[in-house]
Structure 1
């Protein structure tokens, strides 16, 4: 009997070992540039994190259009999120509060992440490419709010997220930097990075079970603006087939405006380097030095110095340049953009964050602590430095204005494409004092359709999830997922015109 027991045990262990080997081999893939190995992140989802989709934009490739990634030898362990692109530490950089306001990130940041159902329930699944927000100055694909495993499993799709250059490293118009190819000279590296990422998807996503002929681009806030950028540029044609755009507006800046912003940035760098004693003398100093000196000076700056030279709330991320954006914003108003099925959406209280930050009383690190673990006795007046009526009047009127603008864009878009849909997001069951302070805050809709009610890892929305609101939020998440899944698969979300999610 003992011998029989040992025989059975050995057989069982052999089966387990074979099963584990087969499972591990299913996460060893051969893609265009080499072999990669992923990780199992849920019972039915594999993740491949930190895959290079372009060559590192460093050294002579800084301020150049992205080049293809180089092949690698051996097996690339795709098991770790990429580092954020250079920025000041903030709520959306996936860094500890001790680094808020300090330069973080690295220029070697052009990596993407893929989540797929495992084992794949069927081949040729729809692909969703997530473009993170952050005013095109902040953010990273590694933010816990943007994890792709819920959507990959629930919607049975292949989910992709990616980093792209931000700030003045991502969009610049400065004469001394205009050398190289037409794309190099354009300065529109935000959009060119995203196009390079979509080319990677087109060339590689079949290996993950995805359909390169059924790709939805999706983004929130600046991510939505960049979705618009991909719709507006002719260079992305054929690389995507549907779009979801949440809480963002189309924009293309005249070159003169981009020139002014870029020139101001270079003057900041010169002053910060103590090459002039007075900031107002920086322009004359630069003019006297000439283009060659300025170009060498710019390439000699560290990424930290570049980040510290950017003292703007929003950069000029899309620049009219005759190549990437051959037309200005007026062309968009006339319907000159790629006409694909599209969802436009916004939240009821967009401005409680977009405008309300000027009323926040605590410093960012303290406020972040409140968002992660709200003190039981925290009150409205502990967070906001004015009275409730003043705060709500300012934020509500601005929210209404933004929502009206997006509704008007939707109505105009419908003139050119009947497959355009609109949603309003109104869920507001968060605990106090956040219910009064943030409400249905900017970005809350994306957390619902991405499905990440993350109360374990530090993230901006951690304050929102309680046992008391579990039933309502899970029911709404289920409803939104039903519609968005249908859109990913067919291009029709299953509602006509406008829908309210609340």
Structure 2
């Protein structure tokens, strides 16, 4: 009897191991793209393609040129490893890369698809990473596309040029350009990636007519830019903006202003012309660009990618006419950005506002009005967040709802991210909320791949709800569906009903529309 039982246990164990091994076996799969055949792999029902090139490497004479069409290849290109990340300094400690090093040769994308053949038609999510246009990568764990793919969405992350490599302006660059423009190369990379997706995603089981773009922070700025540019807006079926847009307070320079910065940059590093600038190695240029005495470069109204200021484009309703899911977090800023080391009291808050914004202090103190010292950390943190990123996100939401006949769904993410594993919680005793970028792993369903934070059951509850909303929106253009609270779209010119994303999610009428209307009224003359 014992022997029979023992043999039975061995048999069941053997079968279990065999089945588990079978379930985890990796199968290599090939797809024929417009430029050649690539080989990825399939694991547990999802197909992975990593480091797929979408444009020529922007190196040598192609440094500071718009992305050039990809050259075709013969044979099979292996796409099982993430490509190199864009050149960047180590500025953010929370970025965990899986990329194959760092290089100017960085124009690659990654695809996760549930499709088994090219005849299937799943909706497509194209996600742009954040990092202030100076850091980030599509290989980061928090942007992993497998979880969304298991929701029936072909998911794509895109690498694009950053910093001095992605946004440098110079008169010689403008002169050599067929479009008489320079800069915005990182945004042009994104547009080129979208064209690649549009042309090739059918081969991966994606529907090229159902492309939703999304991003957080600089990625969200990027989404608003792709909505605004005539180069991309006709390729989009939907947009998701998480904390950020080009419709905020950041003043975008004109092309002439940006070119002057480029001339100053070259002069200060002792380079006479564009040829000498291009002769610098990528490492040399990267290190030089980190000097604090040199001008920096960002998004510019170049007359080509952005024919005019995005605010004007959205005011006229010339942006992409697509459904929009948009929102921000409850603690995008901290009161110390306003008060410095001063105690959070009404007197100190008023003093700081009057010193920093003397021309607008009365108006600001009218709409940012703490009732007691106890409320100062909350109000001052909200003000800091609005100045940083929340106002621009609100402005995008409100303007899009007013100028296009497509629904806008606004959220407010309030769930605090837990502390690091094995470390005591570092909780601000005066105010604690959802910090900038805290929502990413929740909405993309990536808590399990982030082993840094001490996520608990309530975090997985919030993630399940938030990801369901986002997936529904990508699938149908509407976040509503079975098992989630009803979410009403924004009404043009009216206080919005906002979905609070937390352990107890519900619709709530926006509480501070007066603040944002006032900030809009002074936007053109107010420089925070």
Query: Taking structure 1 as the reference length, what is the TM-score of the superposition?
Result: 0.75
The Cα of 1:322 is off from its aligned counterpart by: 2.0
- Return closer, same or farther for 1:343/1:456 CA change in 2, 3 Å cut-off: closer
Unaligned runs of 5+ in 2: 1-14, 342-373, 481-486, 491-497, 503-528
Question: For each residue in 1:10-31, what CA deviation from the matched residue of structure 2 results, as whole angstroms up to 9, or x when unmatched?
Answer: xx9xx99xx99x9836x21111
Secondary structure at 2:269's aligned position in 1?
A: helix
Counterpart of 1:420 in structure 2 is 408
Counterpart of 1:443 in structure 2 is 437
RMSD of aligned Cα (Å):
3.2
Q: Distance in 2 between matches of 1:325 and 1:354?
A: 35
Counterpart of 2:80 in structure 1 is 79
Count of residues in correspondence between the two structures: 418
**Contact 2:110–2:157 (Cα < 8 Å) also in 1:** yes
Equivalent runs, 1:94-109 vs 2, <5 Å: 94=96, 105-109=102-106
Q: Distance in 1 between matches of 2:440 and 2:298?
A: 22
Question: Given the alignment of the two structures, is residue 308 of structure 1 paired with residue 287 of structure 2, yes or no?
Answer: yes
Unaligned runs of 5+ in 1: 1-11, 97-103, 271-285, 287-292, 360-387
Q: Which shifted more, 410-419 or 47-56?
A: 410-419
**Contact 2:414–2:500 (Cα < 8 Å) also in 1:** yes
2:206 to 204, 210, 218: 210
Question: Given the alignment of the two structures, is residue 403 of structure 1 paired with residue 390 of structure 2, yes or no?
Answer: yes
The Cα of 1:49 is off from its aligned counterpart by: 0.1
**Contact 1:57–1:66 (Cα < 8 Å) also in 2:** yes
Counterpart of 1:261 in structure 2 is 261
Question: Given the alignment of the two structures, is residue 433 of structure 1 paired with residue 435 of structure 2, yes or no?
Answer: no
Counterpart of 1:342 in structure 2 is 324
Question: For each residue in 1:332-368, what CA deviation from the matched residue of structure 2 results, as whole angstroms up to 9, or x when unmatched?
Answer: 3513322211111111111259969x99xxxxxxxxx
Question: For each residue in 1:408-453, what CA deviation from the matched residue of structure 2 results, as whole angstroms up to 9, or x when unmatched?
Answer: 4322221113411211000125245344397411111222111111
2:307 to 326, 331, 339: 326
2:140 to 140, 143, 166: 143
Counterpart of 2:66 in structure 1 is 65
- Return closer, same or farther for 1:156/1:354 CA change in 2, 3 Å cut-off: farther
Query: Taking structure 2 as the reference length, what is the TM-score of the superposition?
Result: 0.72
Secondary structure at 1:50's aligned position in 2?
A: strand
Q: Distance in 2 between matches of 1:118 and 1:265?
A: 48
Counterpart of 2:243 in structure 1 is 247
Secondary structure at 1:228's aligned position in 2?
A: helix
Question: For each residue in 1:212-238, what CA deviation from the matched residue of structure 2 results, as whole angstroms up to 9, or x when unmatched?
Answer: 000001010000111111111111132
Counterpart of 2:278 in structure 1 is 299
The Cα of 1:321 is off from its aligned counterpart by: 2.2
Question: For each residue in 1:251-276, what CA deviation from the matched residue of structure 2 results, as whole angstroms up to 9, or x when unmatched?
Answer: 54322432243334324433xxxxxx
- Return closer, same or farther for 1:141/1:429 CA change in 2, 3 Å cut-off: closer
Question: For each residue in 1:29-88, what CA deviation from the matched residue of structure 2 results, as whole angstroms up to 9, or x when unmatched?
Answer: 1111111111234x2211100010000000111111111111222211111111111110
Equivalent runs, 1:147-166 vs 2, <5 Å: 147-153=144-150, 155-166=151-162
**Contact 2:335–2:380 (Cα < 8 Å) also in 1:** no
Equivalent runs, 1:266-285 vs 2, <5 Å: 266-270=266-270
Relative contact order higher in (CA < 8 Å, ≥ 6 apart):
1
Question: Which structure is higher in helix share?
Answer: 1
- Return closer, same or farther for 1:438/1:83 CA change in 2, 3 Å cut-off: farther
The Cα of 1:490 is off from its aligned counterpart by: 1.6
- Return closer, same or farther for 1:93/1:429 CA change in 2, 3 Å cut-off: closer
